[in-house]
A and B are shown apart, each in its own frame.
Chain A
Amino acid sequence: MNDMTHKGLGLATQTAKISASGVQVHYGTNHALKDVDVTILDRTVTAFIGPSGCGKSTFLRCLNRMNDTVASCRVSGQILLEGEDIYDRRVDPVQLRAKVGMVFQKPNPFPKSIYDNVAYGPKIHGMTRNKAELDAIVEASLRKAALWGEVKDRLDATGTGLSGGQQQRLCIARAIATSPEVLLMDEPCSALDPIATAQVEELIDELRHQFSVVIVTHSMQQAARVSQKTAFFHLGNLVEFGETGDIFTNPKDPRTEAYITGRIG
């Protein structure tokens, strides 16, 4: 459950996982993010909301350097993961992405077996010494992703043969198999039915006992249900950031109010 009713409970003891300050992003001449400061707390679900094109995905991709792969993209400012600058030259982006995992809008399992989809990350990061350890990680990840019961008898079947909701949970299992510290989710439920959506939301609530979760969503109700903190982006600016309960009952900025009540397109 979210903390809308007892907001702030225990938050004082939560430490910053990611601290971003003065983050600017340009795609060529397009100034996509303007001077964003935000703190992502440990063991907290943070929702990013805002109109299409406001820069939510751009900011999310900054947090695990997925923007590195976009040639026209320039990122400046500072992003610290537990005090370490993730844009430091010594940081290996592949290692970083094991710590800061990502789940995308469209489920994108590899065209491989269910088992291999989940085992892929732990294998390339050399996290296990033998098959038994790898089996254990695969099972634990699938259990956490609430998929184990449905696939345990067909781990060799191909991942792309699952239903959309199952594929998305498989992608979540893949993302958490490397024991990330932060899980980034970009509209993870947009292709899912209400049941699968509820399962993913339940999972997010579970995951926040171990990870920080950052979720981009276009569903106000989903943001209100799953997150404890909400950030509202508008035209590349972080307009408002605060307790989810406050943002949805009493936003401070008129742009936030207009957006969440359905008054601007």
Chain B
Amino acid sequence: MSDSESHIVSSFDRDLEALQAHLLRMGGLVEAALVNAAKALEAQDLPAADSVIIGDKAVDALEEFIQTEAASLIARRAPTASDLRLVLAVMRAAHSLERVGDYAKNVAKRTRVIGRSAPVDGHAGTIRRMSVMVAKMLEDAQLALVRKDASLAAAVRARDVEIDQMYNTLFRSLFTYMMESAGSIGPSMHLHFIAKNIERAGDHATTIAEQAIYLATGSRPSEERVKGDSTSATA
């Protein structure tokens, strides 16, 4: 493909590469934040939760930086075709990553207040596994984007069903806890929001994967993604 060839103006290539490098750096921070927040919950490690909360400032700053750089690149280079799609995809992906950073921060904030209890011990392991899976989806979605790899992106989209199913299982289990003991409602509600945050992070990985498909093929994926989240029917 011609778009893997270099531009006549080589500084244009450097700008595009820098933009993608910043995105990957931001992605690395966000993936770590999500997993660290879930691990802090499981280990009841409050200092670790604190550093996730503090670390979100760096994520927000990087997002702002990427958006500014992208806007400047549009103004200076007037990108077209796959170059334009790349810049748009990076802008949207950075926005998605920023949201995921907020979810990780929210998980950490809830970890600080939730305390140790039976529902936490019963669910934190699953939540951690879920966070690791979502982090991997985020990583693969970004790789698909920078490599313009539509099939890797399609695989990421497909994996979101598993996340939805894990969330459904957690939801039902927490629901049962709450029905059986009123004393577990407080921590169970927190755990539910934590699970929901991570499930949403999975949706953002899917969004980034869709940007990668748009970038690679020029059109957005057509068929509706299979939604595995059935709790809106349950609740």
Give the interface of A toward B (CB within 8 A). Answer: 220-221, 224, 248-251, 254-258, 260-265
The chain B residue with its CB closest to the CB of A258 is: B2
Q: How far is the CA of A260 from the CA of B7 in the complex (A)?
A: 11
Q: How far is the CA of A264 from the CA of B2 in the complex (A)?
A: 9
Q: Quick check: A263 and B7 within 8 Å, CB to CB?
A: yes
Main secondary structure on chain A at its contact with chain B?
helix
The chain B residue with its CB closest to the CB of A251 is: B81
Task: Using A249-B218, A250-B218 as known contacts, say yes or no to A261 and B82 having CB atoms under 8 A apart.
Answer: yes
Residue B12 at the chain A interface, CB threshold 8 Å: yes
The chain A residue with its CB closest to the CB of B9 is: A262
Among the listed A221, A248, A264, A265, which residue makes an inter-chain contact with B81, where contact means beta carbons less than 8 Å apart? A248
Residue B180 at the chain A interface, CB threshold 8 Å: no
Contacts of B82 in A (CB 8 A): 257, 261
Could you show 9 A-B contacts with beta carbons less than 8 Å apart? A220-B78, A249-B85, A251-B81, A255-B2, A257-B2, A257-B81, A258-B3, A261-B3, A263-B2
Q: Quick check: B1 and A261 within 8 Å, CB to CB?
A: no
Contacts of B3 in A (CB 8 A): 257-258, 261, 263
Contacts of B219 in A (CB 8 A): 250
Among the listed B5, B9, B80, which residue makes an inter-chain contact with A249, where contact means beta carbons less than 8 Å apart? B80
Q: How far is the CA of A257 from the CA of B81 in the complex (A)?
A: 6
Q: Quick check: A249 and B2 within 8 Å, CB to CB?
A: no
CB-CB nearest 9 A-B residue pairs: A250-B218, A258-B2, A254-B2, A260-B80, A248-B80, A261-B83, A257-B81, A257-B2, A262-B7
Residue B182 at the chain A interface, CB threshold 8 Å: no
Contacts of B85 in A (CB 8 A): 249-250
Contacts of A264 in B (CB 8 A): 2, 8
- Restricting to B58-86, which residues have a CB under 8 Å from any CB of A? 78-85
Closest Cβ of chain B to A254, distance in Å, is: 4
Q: How far is the CA of A258 from the CA of B8 in the complex (A)?
A: 10
What would 5 more interface pairs be, CB under 8 Å, given A262-B9, A264-B8?
Answer: A221-B78, A249-B218, A255-B2, A261-B2, A263-B2
Q: How far is the CA of A224 from the CA of B218 in the complex (A)?
A: 18
Q: Quick check: A261 and B80 within 8 Å, CB to CB?
A: yes
Contacts of A263 in B (CB 8 A): 2-3, 5-8
Q: How far is the CA of A260 from the CA of B83 in the complex (A)?
A: 10
Closest Cβ of chain B to A252, distance in Å, is: 8
Q: How far is the CA of A264 from the CA of B9 in the complex (A)?
A: 10
Closest Cβ of chain B to A51, distance in Å, is: 12
Q: Quick check: A261 and B79 within 8 Å, CB to CB?
A: yes
Q: How far is the CA of A264 from the CA of B3 in the complex (A)?
A: 11
The chain A residue with its CB closest to the CB of B214 is: A250
The chain A residue with its CB closest to the CB of B6 is: A263
